Amino acid sequence: MNDWTSGYVADIDYTHDFFRELTPSHLGFCALSKGHDHALNGAKLTYCELGCGQGFSANLLGAANPHIEFHAMDFNPAHMAGAANLARDAGLDNVHFYERSFEDFGAAPGLPQEFDVIALHGVYSWVSEQHQQHITDFISTRLKPGGLVYLSYNALPGWAPALPLRRILTNRAEQGTGPLSDRIAEAVEFAHQLEQNGATYFTSNPALSKRLSKMKSAPANYLAHEYFNKDWTPFHFEDIARDMSQAKLKFLGAAEPRDHIDDISFSEEQQQLLQMERDPVQCESLRDILLNEQFRTDVFVKGKLPFTERGAVGAWFKTPLALTRHYSGGEIKLSWRRGDIAMDQDQYGPVLTALSQGPMTTRALLESGVFGEMGWADITRLLTLLIGDGYLAPSLPQEGLAERSERCRAFNKEVAKRSEDSESLHFFASPVTGGGIALDRFEQLFLLARSEGKKTPSDWADLVWQILAPQGQRLQQDGRILETAEENLAVLYARANAFAARRLPLCELLGLTLEPPVTAARRRGKAVA
């Protein structure tokens, strides 16, 4: 292991995932939901991502939020070179990357003195205590008063039973030889053999079998960065709260909106226990015990500014909302900790139907009458649950949409072009939500084909096959690799038609299509000035 890595895995590149919790509009909604009068609706905002990995999230957010300056750092030079390359190709001038350590990042030339948001996803549990202190010191000196910190980490008690499993894996990998990816696969297989041979550790902790099963199908780059770093620490919440208090931060709430509503996670008896706990830190720790929490996505604030009652209602009224999941009527179920929750279709359906026509503010929804006779508390609960479950997303105002659309189109086209050779990028930037929308490789290539004048789903499928076939790539169906062109094209035709019927209208609503604006407007039959 080279010294510059500080024990962090550098042999295998990190993934190119995007997490909605990083989205400024999403963080703003979570702050609103917890009563904080945030400043994320303003102009000339600054955003810092610590340990940004491949930098894909920073680039995506930069494309969708041209009013924000993004600064992102990572210690891995290959990651930073790739991130800067994508930013250059997409023409992003508001995203800045730094190949730095946590210790020396604060001295980087051109770095702003203060940030509105500092975000760390998948970092704090995977670095040493020394680097955790560097992170805390940076937040202490660089976060603006009223600013937000997003911090995710592995949590206790949920991870406690798996601590020996990680030791088994890392010890086995250290004993092996050859590439790290091979040693990881062998270590996972060894753990599986222990389980199959009746090791009491596994029989006494049956949940580990499910975890191990998922690990066997997970990609090596995920496993490497999740389990195989030298430093790996799951935290009690109170320990994180103590660290953040060094930077004058207080816990604001979860970056998961469904965790803002207790009755979908806890029984009545459990809620009573929580209500009896007056200390907010101890209350969060009690929640983790009741839930056996494994992973937390926390938002901290440097000086909470509480809304007045009128101010909170006004902020809700101004919040734009967009549909992010296909809805054509029928049963509505939300999935969360206690399983599926059937929602009242008469209450939830009209909201989703209204938003299927395009984004609307909460005020506009209220004025349209979709909430019927619901009270204000029930309205905010409904919207919070729909956002939490991914039916809706808090969005950006109409002002600036044209600029955002053009920048997102350029970025998304670069992502789609890269998907001709790889399936590592799974998100487009939305000028509507200001965040990322998941699209698989085929969906991206269908949109690329459409932008190149291919008019029918069959044409889109043909173009995808023209890309895949020379690369020797084939599709699978029912566990079988499809060998003939006819078989592959049949599956691609079916997928393209399904995409045209279900996903394409949503892509148009969210600004994900790749045609220039004039072409897209003409296709919808709108007049173009």
* Predicted confidence (pLDDT) per residue in 170-221, tens digit: 999 888 888 888 898 999 999 999 999 999 999 999 988 888 888 888 887 7
What per-residue confidence (pLDDT) applies to 217?
Answer: 82
The pTM score is: 0.91
Cα–Cα distance for residue pair 529/392, rounded to 1 Å: 31
User: Domain 3-156+234-301, what fold?
Assistant: Rossmann fold (3.40.50)
Q: How far is CA 193 from CA 7, 104, 180, 265, in A?
A: 28, 44, 20, 35
Closest to 124 in 3D by CA, of 12, 244, 286: 244
What per-residue confidence (pLDDT) applies to 517?
Answer: 61
Element (H, E) at 174: helix 163-175
The residues near 355 (Cβ < 8 Å, ≥ 6 apart) are 321, 322, 323, 365, 392
Identify the DSSP state of 438: E
Q: Which sign, positive or negative, has the C-alpha torsion 351, 355, 357, 359? A: positive
Local structure of 347: helix, strand or coil: helix
- Domain ranges, ordered by start, for the chain: 3-156+234-301, 160-227, 320-394, 401-523
pLDDT per residue over 347-371, tens digit each?
Answer: 999 999 999 999 999 999 999 999 9
User: Longest C-alpha distance within the chain, in Å?
Assistant: 73
Residue 443 C-alpha from the chain's centroid: 19
CB distance 96 to 68 below 8 Å: no
What per-residue confidence (pLDDT) applies to 15?
Answer: 60
Low-confidence spans in the chain with pLDDT less than 50 = 1-14, 519-529
344-355: burial string, b at 16+ Cβ within 10 Å, e else: eeebbbbbbebb
